[in-house]
Amino acid sequence: MANIIGVTLSERAVAGLVVDNKLASTLHCFPEDGEEDGALIEMPTDGLVKMLCEQIICAAKSSKDIAAVGVALPGVIRSGVVEDSPNLPQLKGARIADLLSAKLVEHGLNTTVNVINDADGMASGLAATQGKLDRLIRVWTLGIGIGYGRYPFIDGVWEGGHGIVSLDDKERFCGCGGRGHMEGIMGHRAMRLRFLDMEPEEVFEAAKTGDKRCLDFKRLWHKALAAATATEIHQEGSGKFFLTGFNVRFVDLPMLRDYLQQMVKMSPLQSYSVEIVADDAETRVIGSAVAAEQAAARH
């Protein structure tokens, strides 16, 4: 059983030791105070790399033999390079795997570093914790933006949150600037821009009372999620879809399933299912470690 360090990076950096697809240590977090918003986005790239290495070294103290390090972070990640990361813009272009490897060697830890998208980390974590490592798992993460994760990992961009779900010229709320994107409808930031006089929580509460503007948006929100999910079903087939992130609280599963039923009509594609799961750091840490172990085995 290999000892792997898993790390997830979003609003906070969280690291832990993973053995046999299970957490084998306490989680190490930065910042320790979860209410300290904006701490990571204000860090320069070298500061982030240094901080990540410190968390990895802390998590590795309980084991002398670390086979690999897995890191999951937001953005387009390919071959250890952050090609783009709207949530952590200072990392754009960073050869993050190489930077982390070099810094870890300075701390006496010489091991491989595997970097993946954080939504893929969540998908891997769910596959591991639910005993589904032999199946296709897909995850929508509903938060500030919209993440799309897939297990097993295959090469590609997989920025599913930027899939086109509307041809309306007015749909320009996506953080990347693109028109008609799923994230431009469903992302928390996009909802706040659309309803400058209401918070997203207030919009969905008002929809329950029959407010027409808010009810129309609730329907649009669910149609966007259904359209993106139906597109993935038509491209890769049916299977399990998980919904996670702090905005799953807005999901009306009967409404979503009704729209999906209207969009997926081919009988071989109708054996899909949708399930809401809690978004927790432990699952993401395990997922990044599982991905790193599998990447090391391939090489």
User: pLDDT (tens digit, 9 = 90+) per residue, 216-255?
Assistant: 999 999 999 999 999 999 999 999 999 999 999 999 999 9
Per cent of the chain over pLDDT 70 is 98
227 three-state secondary structure? helix
* H or E stretch at 54: helix 45-60
Whether the pLDDT of residue 37 is over 70: the answer is: no
Return the pLDDT at 246: 93
Mean pLDDT score, 94-117: 95
Tokens of 171: 């749909």
Return the pLDDT at 35: 57
Q: Determine how β-strand 137-142 pairs with β-strand 240-244.
A: parallel
Return the pLDDT at 236: 94
Dump pLDDT digits (tens) for 86-97. Answer: 788 899 999 999
CA distance 75 to 84: 5
| Nearest residue to 237 (alpha-carbon basis) of 197, 267, 261, 258 | 267
Residue 36 confidence class, pLDDT cut points 50, 70, 90: low
Dump pLDDT digits (tens) for 145-185. Answer: 999 999 998 887 888 999 999 999 999 999 889 999 999 99
16 three-state secondary structure? strand
Return the pLDDT at 32: 81
The residue assigned the tokens 């974590």 is: 125
CA distance 161 to 168: 17
Bridge-partner residues for 4, per DSSP?
Answer: 18, 68
Mean pLDDT score, 72-77: 91
Residue 204 confidence class, pLDDT cut points 50, 70, 90: very high
Tokens of 226: 């259904």
253: Cα within 13 Å, side-chain hemisphere:
11
Q: Is 287 left (phi over 0), alpha (psi -120 to 50) or beta?
A: alpha
Whether the pLDDT of residue 64 is over 80: the answer is: no
Return the pLDDT at 34: 60
Residue type, 274: V
Q: Determine how β-strand 22-23 pairs with β-strand 28-30.
A: unpaired
> Selecting from 3.30.420.40, 3.20.20.70, 1.10.3720.10, 3.40.600.10, what CATH number does the domain 3-118 have?
3.30.420.40
Domain regions of the chain by residue span: 3-118, 124-276
* H or E stretch at 53: helix 45-60
Q: Which residues lie below 8 Å from residue 38, measured CB to CB, with a gap of 6+?
A: none
> Selecting from 3.50.50.60, 3.40.630.10, 3.30.420.40, 3.30.70.20, what CATH number does the domain 124-276 have?
3.30.420.40
Return the pLDDT at 51: 95
Return the pLDDT at 196: 94
| Nearest residue to 52 (alpha-carbon basis) of 293, 282, 299, 285 | 285
| Nearest residue to 122 (alpha-carbon basis) of 142, 94, 92 | 142
Tokens of 80: 């250890």
Whether the pLDDT of residue 294 is over 90: the answer is: yes
CA distance 220 to 16: 39
Same fold, 3-118 and 124-276: yes
Whether the pLDDT of residue 257 is over 90: the answer is: yes
| Nearest residue to 115 (alpha-carbon basis) of 190, 7, 250, 11 | 7
Bridge-partner residues for 72, per DSSP?
Answer: 8, 116
CA 19, 24, 26, 27: dihedral to nearest 10 degrees? 20
Return the pLDDT at 24: 93
Bridge-partner residues for 70, per DSSP?
Answer: 6, 114
Q: Taking a C-beta distance cutoff of 8 angstroms, is the pair 177, 265 a contact?
A: no
CA distance 296 to 152: 14
What do you get for the CA distance between the two ends of the chain, in Å?
18
CA distance 51 to 91: 14
